Amino acid sequence: MHFLQFFASSIALFTAIGAASTPPPATVKNGTLQGRHNEQWDQDFFLGIPYAQPPLGDLRFRWPQSIEEKWNGTKDAMEYGYSCYQYKSNFNLSEDCLTLNVVRPSGYDNQSLPVLIWIYGGGLYVGSSADPQYNLSGIVNTASESGQPFIGVSINYRLGVWGFLQNPAILNEGSSNAGLLDQRMAMMWVQENIAAFGGNPKKVTVWGESAGAQSIGLHMHSFGGRDDGLFSSAILESGGPVGASLNPIPFYTSAFENLTRTVGCYDGGSGQYATAHTEALACLRNLTSEQLFNSNYTVVWNPIVDGTFLTAYP
């Protein structure tokens, strides 16, 4: 069966979730989560789980930061979190969007099942794990029926200018390619916490389509090809590490200038190149989410070879 058929089945299922019994809670590093149970396919959903600090204020455009504090009581994980900011979308949008979702067949919470992490495509400027076609219920159900159950995980990551703003100041502070590091942080969260849901952190497959596949290809080349054990296998569909152009910083000079002019952060041309970019970047971080979003500046920002995450062209 084609993977889109799995997603089509998932859409039909998700519209019928409704009120149902609750699955056993899952206790992760930061506290206890309560998900929801679907009786039709006997699955448990844990939705909208934060895997990183909200990238707000001074954390805007930076690499994601892990959540160290613990919450008291039981945290509700029954609804999708916000989708990351993007244009031409019907999703509920916010910068506080770094969440993931876990779909598992019921009754396996004390097992050690393989794990599949789904990374959506969309050109690195659109997409969301809240898209009904990506909730993974169909393929998780088919796997269970075939006697090969696994746990599905879908993730959000920052898109467009929020995830891939490129300029000298971003490069100098080590914040390039933040959207890809979001994905990596989600993989790290899986390593630390998936056992609480009955998953095996040593049997993780990452699966992506289009820009999701390109992202996985870049992860395979990241940090000079270093293997940090975040996944053991990968599925790349309709994409690869050489999919989108990895343009150098000068390629984005006019794009950054136009953006800062649009939102009132252009420095006026002080002649001090690095200083001017640093001041403009600080100004962008001081904007409200709505001000940055309403700039409607839709340049496609892509990953770059930053010398850290990507040390060379694939």
Does 267 reside within a domain?
no
Contacts for 216 with CB less than 8 Å, ≥ 6 apart: 119, 206, 207, 208, 234, 235, 236
Question: Residue 28 belongs to a domain with what CATH number?
Answer: 3.40.50.1820
Number of domains within the chain: 1
Dist. CA 140–CA 157, nearest whole Å: 22
Ranges of residues in the chain whose predicted pLDDT is under 70: 1-20, 243-244, 268-275, 296-298
Does 297 reside within a domain?
no
Does 66 reside within a domain?
yes
Beta bridge partners of 154: 101, 118
Does 120 reside within a domain?
yes
Does 264 reside within a domain?
no
pLDDT tens, residue by residue, 261-311: 899 898 754 545 556 788 899 999 999 999 999 886 667 899 999 999 999
Which residue is associated with the tokens 């448990």? 44
Question: In the prediction, which pLDDT does 274 show?
Answer: 53
Strand order in the sheet with 26-28: 26-28, 31-34, 74-76
Does 304 reside within a domain?
no
Annotate the chain with DSSP letters as a single string. Answer: --HHHHHHHHHHHHTT--S-PPPPPEEETTEEEE-EEETTTTEEEEEEEE-S----GGGTTSPP-------SSEEE-SS--PBPP-SS--S-B-S---EEEEEEETT-TTS-EEEEEEE--STTTS--TTSGGGS-HHHHHHHHHTT---EEEEE----HHHHH---HHHHHTT-TTHHHHHHHHHHHHHHHHGGGGTEEEEEEEEEEETHHHHHHHHHHHHHHH---SS-SEEEEES--TTSS----GGGGHHHHHHHHHHHT------S-HHHHHHHHHHHHHHS-HHHHHHT-----------SSS--S--
Cα dihedral 28→31→32→38 (10° resolution): -60
Strands 199-209 and 36-38: unpaired
Does 258 reside within a domain?
no
Strands 26-28 and 31-34: antiparallel
Question: In the prediction, which pLDDT does 270 show?
Answer: 52
Does 19 reside within a domain?
yes
Question: In the prediction, which pLDDT does 23 show?
Answer: 85
Q: Which domain holds residue 191?
A: 3-237
